[in-house]
Structure 1
Amino acid sequence: MSESTPAAGPEAASVTATPASRFAIGAEQFELDGEPVRILSGALHYFRVHPDLWRDRIRKAREMGLNTIETYVAWNAHAPHEDEFDLSGGLDLGRFLDDVAAEGMHAIVRPGPYICAEWDNGGLPSWLFTSGTVGVRRDEPQYLAAVQRYLEQLAPVLVPRQIDNGGPIILVQIENEYGAYGSDPVYLEKLVAMNRGIGLTVPFTTVDQPTDEMLANGSLPSLHKTGSFGSRSAERLATLREHQPTGPLMCSEFWDGWFDFWGAHHHTTSTAQSAADLDELLALGASVNIYMFHGGTNFGFTNGANDKGVYQPIVTSYDYDAPLDEAGFPTSKYWAFREVLAKYNPSIPDARPSAAPSAPAFRVPLTASLPLDAATNLLGEWVTSDELPTMDALGLFRGFALYRTEIDTTVSSASASALPPVLELGEVRDRAIVRLNGVTLGVLARDHHDRRIALPAGARGTLDILVEDQGRVDYGPRIGEPKGLIGPACLNGEPLHRWTVLPLALDDLSAVTDALAATTASVAASVAGALAGPLAGPAFGYASFDVDPGADLYLDTRDWGKGAVWVNGFNLGRYWSRGPQHTLIVPAPVLRPTGNTLVVLELHAAAPTASFVASPDLGHTDF
Structure 2
Amino acid sequence: MWGSWVSLLLIASLGLIGSCSAAAVEYDSSAVIINGERKIILSGSIHYPRSTVEMWSDLIQKAKEGGLDTIETYIFWNAHEPRRREYNFTGNLDFVKFFQKVQEAGLHGILRIGASLCGYTIFRISNSGTNNEIFKNEMRTFTTKIVNMAKEAKLFASQGGPIILAQENEYGNVMGPYGEAREIIRSMINTCNGFYCDAFTPNNPKNPKIWTENWTGWFKKWGQKDPHRTAEDLAFSVARFFQQNGVLQNYYMVDLSPT
Partner of 1:290: 251
Aligned to 1:54: 56
Cα separation, 2, equivalents of 1:92 and 1:262: 35
Structure with higher Rg: it is: 1
Match of 2:64, SS? helix
* CA RMSD between the two structures: 2.3
SS at match of 1:161: coil
Paired with 2:50 and 2:226, the residues of 1 have a C-alpha distance of: 19
For 2:244 and 2:106, the matched residues in 1 are separated by 26
* Cα distance in 1, alignment partners of residues 16 and 193 from structure 2: 24
**Structure 2 partner of 1:16:** 17
What residue is the counterpart of 1:175 in the other structure?
169
Instruction: Describe how 1:134-153 pairs up with structure 2 within 5 A.
Output: 135-136=129-130, 138=131, 140-153=132-145
CA–CA distance in structure 2, aligned partners of residues 28 and 96 of structure 1 = 30
Deviation at 1:186, TM superposition (A): 2.1
Q: Please give the secondary structure, in 2, of the residue aligned with 1:123.
A: coil
In 1: Cα distance, 2:212 partner to 2:79 partner: 23
CA contact (8 A) 2:16 2:23 kept: no
- The Cα shift of 1:262 comes to 6.7
Letter in 1 for 2:175: G
Q: 1:108 to 1:102 in 2, by over 3 A?
A: same
TM-score scaled by length of structure 2: 0.83
Shift of 1:247: 2.5
- SS for the counterpart of 2:190 is strand
Contact 1:111 1:175 in 2 (8 A): yes
Task: Find out whether 1:276 has 2:236 as its counterpart.
Answer: yes
Task: Name the counterpart of 1:112.
Answer: 114
1:389 counterpart residue number? none
SS in structure 2 opposite 1:257?
coil
Show the counterpart of 2:188.
223
Matches within 5 A, 1:522-541: none
Q: 1:257 to 1:165 in 2, by over 3 A?
A: same
CA contact (8 A) 2:192 2:213 kept: yes
**One-letter code of the match for 1:107?**
G
Q: Which amino acid aligns with 1:162?
A: F
8 Å CA contact retained: 1:100, 1:106: yes
Residue identity in the other structure for 2:228? T
Contact 1:77-1:123 at 8 Å conserved across structures = no
Residue 27 of structure 1 and its aligned partner are, at CA, apart by 5.0
Q: How far off its partner does 1:164 sit?
A: 0.6
Provide, for residues 134-190 of structure 1, a one-character-per-residue CA deviation record: whole Å limited to 9, x for no partner.
Answer: 541x3x3211210122023213432220011111000011231x334332242467x
Higher relative contact order (Cα pairs below 8 Å, separated by 6+ residues): 2
Aligned position for 2:80? 78
**Alpha-carbon distance in structure 1 between the residues aligned to 2:172 and 2:65:** 35
Cα deviation, 1:190-238, whole Å, max 9, x if unaligned, reads xx7xxxxxxxxxxxxxxxxxxxxxxxxxxx221011111213x43x23x
The answer as to 2:122 corresponding to 1:123 is yes
Q: Secondary structure at the match of 1:154?
A: helix
Spell out the pairing of 1:33-72 with structure 2 (5 A cutoff). 33-72=35-74
Gaps of 5+ in 2: 1-14
CA distance in 2, matches of 1:53, 1:91: 13
CA contact (8 A) 1:15 1:105 kept: no
Match of 1:102 in 2: 104
Change in 2 beyond 3 A, CA 1:104/1:169: same
Q: Deviations over 1:481-517 (max 9, x none)?
A: xxxxxxxxxxxxxxxxxxxxxxxxxxxxxxxxxxxxx
CA distance in 1, matches of 2:16, 2:66: 15
Identical-residue share of aligned pairs (%): 28
Report the AA paired with residue 25 of structure 2: F
For 1:400, the equivalent position in structure 2 comes to: none
1:492-531 to structure 2, matched below 5 A, reads none
Cα distance in structure 2, aligned partners of 1:85 and 1:150? 10
Deviation at 1:38, TM superposition (A): 1.2
